[in-house]
Amino acid sequence: MANNLELQGGTWHVRLAIPADVRKAFGGRRILSRSLETGQRSEAMNLRLPYLAQWKAQIADARAKATAQKENWRPQIAAQGYLLDQNIAARFLAASKRTPKTQEDDPETVDAQAQLIAESLLRIFEDMARWQEYGVEGIPQLLQELDILSPCSPIELAQKTAKFKRELTARVATAHYGLTPTEATEAQTIVVNPTSYKPKSPITKPRLAAFRAAREGLKISDKNVDQQESKLQKLSAFLGDNGNPLDFDVIAAWLDSLNVSAKTKAQYINAGTTFWKWAMKYDAQWREDFKGAVNPFENHDLPFLRGKAKADAQRADFSLTELAKLHSAASTEGNNTLADLILLGTYTGARIEELCQLRTEDVIKVDGVQSFDITASKTVAGIRVLPVHPALTSVVQRLIADSRDGYLVPSASRNKYGNRSDLHSKAFGRLKKSLGFDKDHVFHSIRMTAITQLVRAEVSGPLIAELVGHETGTVTFDTYSQGASAAQKLVAISKIHVLPAP
């Protein structure tokens, strides 16, 4: 059957063999066939393509569903086991009510027992007939092994029937899901004792890989993708270790177990919500498993700080005297690069990574004003041109002359995200700690100091935002305005005070 075409009575038919592993999804058919209603082979070559594409998609979908079904056999068998337990308990209760209290024959009791036995045997044969379609072998031998057909009391029959149903359920599952011998043994254990199965996390490695690929396709930063994936992996481990379902109560318990701030918990919730929305939209099996479910990451109350507690938790800025002390200590220790970074931060208000990403060619002239062309910022507003403070002129000239790799600030950092400030941030942390500053004082505190000075020098709010790379939140300044001139920005940045002598 070349090119999936076959000539029948002068008319071409497109035909496609159905793989054996998915024939059940096609009603047991082996071949898909459709008349193309043409006797011209060249025309049939084109007409066959839509049918082949459709059939192959259906085969792929059937195979995907079969794979998903195979992956979910444990929870499905556990559910069957719980139902069996309920059914068996009901049968035992009925049998116990019909068991005579004495050894003497009572006609009514005998009749009741006979009726119960007949009902039990009828259900057994109904099960055999219904499950025969799965190709389960050895049912007659199982009946003989359990000696079900021999005379016995209702209680004894209930015990035999229970064992028969569990064994048959395990065999049906083995045939239906195509289980290996090891998996078949596990299935039998789950049927007998459903509580032995602990549900695994639905946030699987393949799903996380697909989610990651989707996020990367949207050009989300590697750092953001890694952080969300890390949080989801922790949630998945929590679900797997405890065998809990993915619902609101479990997420609430998980959040309570995290020894992190409310802000970090909000980031965990954001990661979960982003994943949930993606899975509900793009993962067919997830949609099926969580059909009608409410997003379990929504409506959680987090203990955000308010009032004095919030104020106490905020970062603190440095005074000019403290900055001078930090600069002097860095120079005394021989860490000249850190000393330069402290000066750059003091007279620009820039973020440390923005400073470390500056290249020598980023020092430019705009309308005759020497400026930093900051392009590597974490925000759109952060991409800006910032005049060089007069106190930095000689420092910048030296850094350009001493550069060995094209960067203004040398760095030995090997961060996988391309960040160059890691080692300098850690060095600053050690330095400020040695001088008695607490955790509320960080390199970013220098940025706060610069902004405070600009405010007190009566620089306008929109111009301060332009200098430090913030949005103003207004259409007028963020969208329509082309910003201040280089000369205006130089006048403003020059109002940051020079550090006092240590």
The residue type found at 419 is N
Cα end-to-end distance, the chain, whole Å: 91
Q: How far is CA 249 from the centre of its chain?
A: 19
pLDDT of residue 148: 59
Q: Please state, as a whole number, how many other Cβ atoms lie within 10 Å of the Cβ of residue 129.
A: 9
295-313 average pLDDT score: 67
- pLDDT band for 392, please (50, 70, 90 cuts): very high
3-state SS, one letter per residue, for 166-221: HHHHHHHHHHHHCCCHHHHHHHHHHHHCHHHCCCCCCCCHHHHHHHHHHHHHCCCC
pLDDT digits (tens, 9 = 90+) for 105-133: 555 544 554 555 555 555 555 555 555 55
The residue type found at 195 is T
Evaluate if pTM is beyond 0.95.
no
> Is residue 477 over pLDDT 60?
yes
> Is residue 404 over pLDDT 80?
yes
354-364 average pLDDT score: 95
188-199 average pLDDT score: 80
* Of 100 and 443, the one with more pLDDT: 443
pLDDT digits (tens, 9 = 90+) for 85-106: 776 666 666 666 655 544 445 5
- E strands in 253-383: 363-366, 369-374
pLDDT digits (tens, 9 = 90+) for 44-85: 889 988 898 898 888 887 777 666 555 667 777 777 777 777
413-435 average pLDDT score: 90
10-39 average pLDDT score: 88
pLDDT of residue 395: 95
Give, in order, the Cα–Cα distances in Å from 409 to each of 41, 181, 340, 359, 482.
71, 64, 8, 8, 30
